[in-house]
Amino acid sequence: MISYLPSSAARLLALSLAATTLALAQAQTPAVPPANAPHQGISLANMDPAIRPGDDFYHFANGGFIARNTPLPADRAAIGVFSSLSDNSFKQVASIIDDATKANAPAGSDQRRIADLYRSYMDESAIESHGLSTLHTQLAVIAAIKDRHDLAHALGLSLRADVDALNNTNFHTANIFGLWVAPGFNDPDHYAPYLLQGGLQLPSRDYYLLDSPHMREIRTKYLAHIAAMFRLAGFSDADTRAALVLDLETSIARQHISLADSENIHTANNPWTMADFSTKAPGLDWTEFFLAAGLTNPNGKQPTFIVWQPSAVIGEAGIVIFRDLDSWKDLLAYHLIEASAIGTSKDLAEERFAFFGKTLSGTPAQRPRDFRGDAFVSTTLGDAVGQIYAQRFFSPEAKAQAQALVANLLAAFKIRLENLTWMAPTTKKEALAKLATLQVGVGYPDHWRSYAALEIKPDDLLGNMQRASLFEYHDSLSRIGTPVDRKEWTMEPQTVNAVNLPLDNGLNFPAAILQPPFFDPKAPAAANYGAIGTVIGHEISHTFDSEGAAFDSQGRVRNWWTPDDLAHFDAVTAALAAQYDTYKPFPDLAVNGKQTLGENIADVAGIAAALDGFHAATQGTTQPALGGFTPDQQFFLAFAQNWGSVTREAALRQQILGDPHAPGQFRAATVRNIDAWYTDFKVQPTDKLYLSPKDRVKIW
pLDDT digits (tens, 9 = 90+) for 558-599: 999 999 999 999 999 999 999 999 999 999 999 999 999 999
Residue 298's nearest CA partner among 380, 221, 191 is 191
Span 335-341, mean pLDDT? 97
pLDDT digits (tens, 9 = 90+) for 465-511: 999 999 999 999 999 999 999 999 999 999 999 999 999 999 999 99
Q: Which residues of 623-640 are buried (b: 16+ CB within 10 A; e: fewer)?
A: bbebbebebbbbbbbbbb
Q: CA torsion sign, 468 to 506 to 264 to 546?
A: negative
Residue 532's nearest CA partner among 16, 22, 13 is 22
Confidence of residue 522 (pLDDT cuts 50, 70, 90): confident
Say if residue 71 is preceded by a cis peptide, omega within 30 of 0.
yes
Query: If residue 614 lies in a helix (H) or strand (E), which one and from where to where?
Result: helix 597-618
CA distance 474 to 200: 23
Residue 24's nearest CA partner among 360, 328, 388, 397 is 397
Residue 22: pLDDT over 50: no
Residue 204's nearest CA partner among 660, 597, 568 is 660
CA distance 661 to 203: 15
**CA distances (Å), origin 669, targets 10, 406, 597:** 21, 24, 14
Cβ(237)–Cβ(573) below 8 Å: no
Residue 168: its pLDDT value, please?
Answer: 59
What is the strand order of the sheet 506-510 is part of? 439-443, 506-510, 499-501
Confidence of residue 213 (pLDDT cuts 50, 70, 90): very high
Identify residue 366 by its one-letter amino acid code. Q
Residue 118: pLDDT over 50: yes
CA distance 384 to 648: 34
Span 549-562, mean pLDDT? 92
Query: If residue 396 lies in a helix (H) or strand (E), which one and from where to where?
Result: helix 396-418
CA distance 409 to 541: 10
* Summary mean pLDDT of the chain: 91
CA distance 542 to 577: 16
DSSP string covering 150-219: HHHHHHHHH-----BTTTTBT-SBSSSEEEEEEE-SS-TTBEEEEEEEB--SSSSTHHHH--SHHHHHHH
**CA distances (Å), origin 129, targets 51, 136, 349:** 58, 12, 15
Q: Which residues of 21-48 are buried (b: 16+ CB within 10 A; e: fewer)?
A: bbbbbbeeebeebeeeeebbbbbbebbb
Cβ(499)–Cβ(599) below 8 Å: no
Residue 419's nearest CA partner among 430, 432, 404 is 432
Residue 182: its pLDDT value, please?
Answer: 96
Residue 556: pLDDT over 70: yes
Instruction: Please state, for a pLDDT cut of 90, what percent of the chain lies above it.
Output: 85
Secondary structure of 207-241 in the HEC alphabet? Answer: HHHCCCHHHHHHHHHHHHHHHHHHHHCCCCCHHHH
CA distance 610 to 416: 11
* Ramachandran sector of residue 426 (left: φ over 0; alpha: ψ -120 to 50; beta: rest): alpha
Residue 8: pLDDT over 50: no
CA distance 514 to 497: 9
Delineate the domains of the chain, giving CATH numbers in brackets.
Answer: 115-379 (1.10.1380.10), 395-443+504-643+669-700 (3.40.390.10)
pLDDT digits (tens, 9 = 90+) for 262-286: 999 989 999 999 999 999 999 999 9
